[in-house]
Structure 1
Amino acid sequence: MLNGFTNLKNASGTDFGERMLNKVASESIRRLFSKSESVEVSIRCSPSSKLLQGSLDSFKMGGRGLLIRKDFWVEEMRFETDAVALDFGSVLSGKIRLKQPTQAIAQITLTEAGINEAFKSELVVKKLQNVTEPALMNLSGGEPVSFSDIALKLLPENRIQIFAKALLPNNTLPVSMTATLAIERRRRVAFQNPQFEPEAVPEELRSISEVLTMAFAEILDNMVDLDRFDLDGVLLRINRLETQGDHLVFSGYAQIERFPNIA
């Protein structure tokens, strides 16, 4: 019976077992995201009898319009594994259980609009409110300083331009800077070589705005750690990034420990 199951083909030659596994995997992966526009899974197993031993030749996933942790939009995410070992019995019960962790080549694409939406998320806003860095406290008479209205623009060669507002107890001052994005330790996005951009700031405010801008750059440089955005059972590591027009593309790998169960 099981041999007949794995040898069953549809008109296009797609194995029935692979099609069922694609469906279960797609539903499992959708559960990683708060929302998803589309999630597509492609599994290859030849000959199909290998599926009974839980042996897959490759596993590909592509998703668009993905929302992580209800706040962070991903335009596109793709990953592809080499051989994968799974418990085929779990598939028959509507689940996917890996026999051992596997790694995949990964690519993640963010948009400029999605990044700016992320600056409005509760997690990020908390990091930018009531900052008590000594350099800022000296300017504010000992009171905490907050930053708001962040607007980021992607530039060629991995550079960015950022405008923001610094909220002092009795005043609101502009923040204007450029920086270069880089990856550190495969998990942290660094804001390197920050430069104050005086042209966007009134001349009489430039001196204090520059101090605020450099302090803001330091906050950003310590903020974006991918470990804070890990998906359930999936550890992301980035080898490189690249700005492409209004898109920011990360390339690296994903270590998949487990798939989420379908409720």
Structure 2
Amino acid sequence: MPEEHRLEEKFLSQEAEKRISSQLDEVEQIEIDIQTDLSKIVQGQADGVSLTGQGLVIQQDIRVQEIELQTDSIAINPFSALFGQIELNQPLNAIARITLTELDINTALDSAFVRKQIQNFELNVDGEIVNFEPEEIKVFLPGDGKIEFRGKLLLKQMGNTRPLAYTAIARLPSHSQPAMLEGFNCTEGEGISIELIVALMQKAKQLMSIPYFEWEDISFNLKNIEAQKGNLILMLEAQVRQIPSSSTLLLSP
């Protein structure tokens, strides 16, 4: 590759690194490589963008230990690209590998943003609506593809509200077997019915089978999830309609 092309890529990549770093609360390391040259920028094109980072923190409580991301070819706004800001003229596809530590997950679960998303959910148990209000949830990653949950919640059923504490161990799906609930135990409270456990398992299966989920202008497709000792590794495919700006990166509760 001609040296002048590499200089153009280096300049754009460094400007993009500065811009994204300024939008994060903390960054241990970030490296962005915009694969393009001046002639393609003028035409609003780039061959792709790769990003690797460690210790990325959004709004204090949402942290990613490691991320590796690669896009396919993109169509960009050439004027914004000259100043290190990537604005898409059409959606792009990306593949990402994200590593979360056990501490990252539990800190995020305590954040106002996540608490708002899981503050209340309901199940239909034989025609009766049962509501759950999580009060506390902790995740442990012992390895061997397992995830352990420990938590407390309020169970609202038939006009009554009662507290419940539990532990549960789940095994993630693999090539040879589906996801499995290996154990569930009520540690406080009166316990729950078998019908409710069945409804919970059906709900979990339904959530795991959702083909994609969305955040702002990005659609995610979870291709694989791996539970190692202390770490959770996610493999994602994403369609990005627009690169998040500083306003969308700040997750308001």
Q: Where does structure 1 lack aligned partners over 5 or more consecutive residues?
A: 1-6, 184-190
The partner residue of 1:241 within 221, 225, 245 is 225
TM-score by length of 2: 0.69
Q: Following the alignment from structure 2 to structure 1, what is the Cα–Cα distance between the partners of residues 191 and 134?
A: 14
Deviations 1:50-93, CA, capped at 9 Å, x for gaps: 44434333321112222346543221222112333333332334
Q: Following the alignment from structure 1 to structure 2, what is the Cα–Cα distance between the partners of residues 201 and 260?
A: 42
Amino acid at match of 1:151: K
C-alpha contact 2:139 2:149 (8 A) present in aligned 1? yes
- SS for the counterpart of 2:139 is strand
The partner residue of 2:191 within 200, 208, 215 is 208
CA drift at 1:97: 2.6
Point out 4+ residue stretches in structure 1 off by more than 6 angstroms.
168-171, 210-226
- SS for the counterpart of 2:87 is coil
Q: Following the alignment from structure 1 to structure 2, what is the Cα–Cα distance between the partners of residues 170 and 85?
A: 54
Amino acid at match of 1:254: A
* Pair 1:115 & 2:102 matched: no
CA drift at 1:14: 3.6
Amino acid at match of 2:12: L
CA drift at 1:240: 0.9
Distance 1:123 1:222, change over 3 A: farther
Distance 1:237 1:170, change over 3 A: closer
Partner of 1:80: 70
Name the structure where strand makes up a greater proportion of residues.
2
Q: Where does structure 2 lack aligned partners over 5 or more consecutive residues?
A: 248-253
Q: Following the alignment from structure 1 to structure 2, what is the Cα–Cα distance between the partners of residues 130 and 53?
A: 49
* Pair 1:255 & 2:239 matched: yes
Amino acid at match of 1:159: K
Distance 1:134 1:81, change over 3 A: closer
Q: Which moved more, 1:214-223 or 1:63-72?
A: 214-223
Partner of 2:30: 39
Amino acid at match of 1:240: N
- SS for the counterpart of 1:208 is coil
TM-score by length of 1: 0.67
C-alpha contact 1:95 1:262 (8 A) present in aligned 2? no
Q: Following the alignment from structure 1 to structure 2, what is the Cα–Cα distance between the partners of residues 104 and 130?
A: 32
CA drift at 1:131: 6.2
CA drift at 1:151: 2.0
Name the structure where helix makes up a greater proportion of residues.
1
Number of aligned residue pairs: 234
C-alpha contact 2:171 2:182 (8 A) present in aligned 1? no
The partner residue of 1:102 within 55, 70, 92 is 92
Partner of 2:135: 148
CA RMSD of the aligned region, Å?
A: 4.1
Aligned pairs (5 A) from 1:58-69: 58-68=48-58
Q: Following the alignment from structure 2 to structure 1, what is the Cα–Cα distance between the partners of residues 121 and 81?
A: 50
Q: Which moved more, 1:145-154 or 1:31-40?
A: 31-40
Q: Following the alignment from structure 1 to structure 2, what is the Cα–Cα distance between the partners of residues 132 and 53?
A: 51
